[in-house]
């Protein structure tokens, strides 16, 4: 089964959602975003499904936002962010447990999709980063979530430098639960999902909702409202042009 650019497979009581737009490194294109929404709607609908796994096809989990052909005026950005945030935060809102099996690059929105899941298992080849600062931007969802997971200092370092971290460092920072050999990633994810699926579903759902109860949502609304203002700055416009032109940006602090 396929929803947009996300393939959907059911194994026993586990749903596997695979982001599959490899030419764009599974960036958050409209097809990926729609596929995540429809795929997780199926996870909720199917009473036989007890847990879900999100992973990526090819060498990337998800390389971030797809900004090709995008209009960067504040109104368009606001509409875009509303849609992206719905896809990125879906792991928090689904009532069933969601495991991110990060097989490669998890950058920008890819890292954000992973941290919205309940737990992350990473391939030894995985890399995590929020490179938006290089475009004069900030990560819309990670800016309100990442520091809650890895602490303020490291979150600020990653956000302000845009430098990625390895799977091993992600494990040390408690960003991921486990790092495994690349070829064993899905086996490990399926084993964990199977263990969870064997437990009483009502108690599992209560565990998720209880631990997530403080996440709220007001901070995400604020981030979505505030972020479009960056697109009015000259530096952000330059950063986006440089990215599309594949050159180094020249920022002027205005």
> Which residues are identified as catalytic?
112, 132
Q: Sign of the C-alpha dihedral, residues 137, 165, 104, 6?
A: negative
Task: Spell out the SS3 assignment of 145-174.
Answer: HHHHHHCHHHHHHHHHHCCCEEHHHHHHCC
> How much helix, strand and coil, in percent to the nearest 5, is found in the chain?
50, 20, 30
**Contacts for 50 with CB less than 8 Å, ≥ 6 apart:** 13, 14, 96, 97, 196, 197, 201, 204
- CA dihedral in degrees (66, 69, 71, 76; nearest 10)? -50
Using alpha carbons, list the distances in angstroms from residue 67 to 28, 117, 149. 9, 24, 27
* CA 161/CA 239 separation, integer angstroms: 14
Kindly state the DSSP code that residue 177 receives in the 8-state scheme: S
């Amino acid at each position: 089964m396929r929803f947009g650019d996300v393939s959907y497979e059911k194994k026993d009581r586990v749903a596997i959602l695979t982001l599959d737009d490899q030419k764009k490194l599974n960036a958050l294109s409209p097809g990926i975003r729609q596929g995540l929404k429809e795929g997780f709607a199926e996870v909720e609908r199917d009473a036989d499904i007890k847990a879900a796994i999100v992973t990526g096809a090819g060498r990337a989990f998800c390389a971030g936002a797809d900004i090709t052909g995008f209009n960067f005026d504040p109104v368009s950005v606001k509409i875009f962010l509303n849609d992206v945030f719905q896809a990125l935060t879906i792991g928090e809102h689904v009532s069933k447990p969601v495991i991110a099996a990060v097989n490669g690059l998890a950058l920008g929105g890819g890292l954000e999709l992973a941290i919205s899941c309940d737990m992350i298992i990473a391939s030894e080849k995985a890399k995590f980063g929020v490179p938006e600062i290089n475009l004069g931007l900030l990560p819309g969802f990670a800016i309100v979530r990442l520091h809650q997971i890895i602490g303020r200092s490291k979150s600020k370092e990653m956000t302000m430098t845009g430098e990625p971290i390895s799977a091993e460092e992600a494990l040390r920072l408690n960003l991921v639960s486990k790092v495994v050999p690349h070829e064993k990633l899905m086996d490990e994810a399926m084993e964990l999902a199977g263990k969870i699926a064997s437990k009483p579903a009502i108690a599992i759902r209560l565990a998720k909702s209880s631990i997530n109860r403080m996440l709220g949502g007001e901070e995400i609304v604020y981030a979505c409202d505030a972020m479009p203002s960056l697109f009015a700055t000259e530096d952000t416009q330059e950063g986006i042009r440089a990215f599309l032109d594949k050159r180094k940006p020249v920022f002027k602090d205005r």
